[in-house]
Amino acid sequence: MADLIINFLGIKSPNPFWLASGPPTDKKINVLRAFEAGWGGVVWKTIGTPVQNVSSRYSSLNYSGRKIAGINNIELISDRPVEINLAEIKEVLKLFPDRAMVVSLMADNHRESWHDLVKRTQDTGAHGLELNFGCPHGMVERGMGAAVGQDPEIARMIVEWVMEVAEIPVITKLTPNVHSVVPVGRAVAEAGSGGISLINTIQSVTGIDLETLVPNPIVSGCSTFGGYCGPAVKPVALKFLTTLAQDPVTSHLLLSGIGGIATWRDAVEFFLLGASGVQICTAAMLGGFRIIEDLCEGLDDWMDEKGYQQISDFRGLSVPKITRWEELNLNYKVVASINQDLCIHCGLCYITCEDTSHQAIVLEKGLPYNTYNIKEEDCVGCNLCKIVCPASGCISMIER
């Protein structure tokens, strides 16, 4: 049997699935339900100077009749007093001492503020701290959140302040609202952060109400840029994760992967690209805490099938396989192949190739249906026909 236990900077948890800082980790009752369901750990929703949140707060991007490709939120950090949050953290730790308890923190840019918040949080018995350098809305205007994560020197300074008093592991959460996370990643690594978590949400507008002409979510006739998360952001998260795993300065750090993880397969992809643990928020908000059962069972079965005993056995194995474009083999060639026994004769492959690609599919009209065949001499192996084909396994790419 595979062993799903992880040790992240000395923080142990029975499985690698933590709830990310957000609405599901905002209060004691939520976290207790999560631990009862089987989650390995949580990152408590960011605490700091209490704020007032707005109503409404969320909007979604729906695509092709399907909910939900992604969620946009304009929610800020915890709107409850720090004292209440810290008291509840202490109570949860007594009931579930075997689960990872990391607390997300955000203070203004003064050494004393960070020192005070870190010390008070440590007094709860929490296992680790996560510094929120990623929130892309609301807090940015106050010089916090992503405003810190976008400036390597400010990020370095704050981590140095934290490390002056930190007695438990420190993880720094980075924003994706930058060209590259490597400069900030290097800065916090050099300042002493033991781990990095990423990504936080991406600044966005998900859509506009065409009756009122106000972007969603609507707050008394207005809106604002929000933070985008959910399945649609996974490719961005994997890219940023890989750049840190490849960088010589940050590659030695433990990385906690966040962004669009909804299934055990998603989690495996994050592990293969360098993550030592993963954090999930949107999927739990949409499906409830019981999704942890499928996450653990699926990961366990896959590891057994592959012969892996623990996550470290396959962590990072895909990182060397991502290289620079100019190092790719220009002599490698694949062409499409259509399995006529599986074809449902919908014609999507033909339409997309004929209109937007390389006219490499021949349509042969007939009764009761048309058939489609590949012109290998014209096929460039772009994968478009395979991507649009609705019949699983019908189109494959064959090496030539």
Rounded to 5 degrees, what are φ and ψ at 161? -60, -45
Q: Where are the alpha helices (DSSP H) in 21-151?
A: 28-37, 82-95, 111-122, 146-149
Q: At what angle do helices 111-122 and 82-95 cross, to 10 degrees?
A: 30
Q: Which residues contact 340 (CB under 8 A, 6 or more apart)?
A: 371
The residue type at 367: L
Is 135 annotated as catalytic?
yes
Paired with 170 in beta bridges are 129
- Report the alpha-carbon distance of residue 309 to residue 350 in Å, rounded: 45
- CB of 325 closer than 8 Å to CB of 72: no
Q: Which of 198, 150, 190, 138 is nearest to 172 (CA)?
A: 198
Taking the CA atoms of residue 112, residue 113, residue 114 and residue 120 in that order, the dihedral angle to the nearest 10 degrees is 100
- Report the alpha-carbon distance of residue 358 to residue 391 in Å, rounded: 21
- CB of 132 closer than 8 Å to CB of 159: no
Place of tokens 């979510």: 217
Please pick, among 135, 296, 349, 389, the residue that the annotation labels catalytic.
135
- Report the alpha-carbon distance of residue 149 to residue 242 in Å, rounded: 18
Two tokens at 80? 């409850």
Q: CB-hemisphere CA count at 13 Å for 259? A: 30
Place of tokens 């962004």: 259
- Report the alpha-carbon distance of residue 271 to residue 264 in Å, rounded: 11
- CB of 227 closer than 8 Å to CB of 202: yes
- Report the alpha-carbon distance of residue 147 to residue 151 in Å, rounded: 7
- CB of 284 closer than 8 Å to CB of 291: yes
3-state secondary structure of 266: helix
Two tokens at 352? 């997309």
Which residues form the catalytic set? Answer: 135
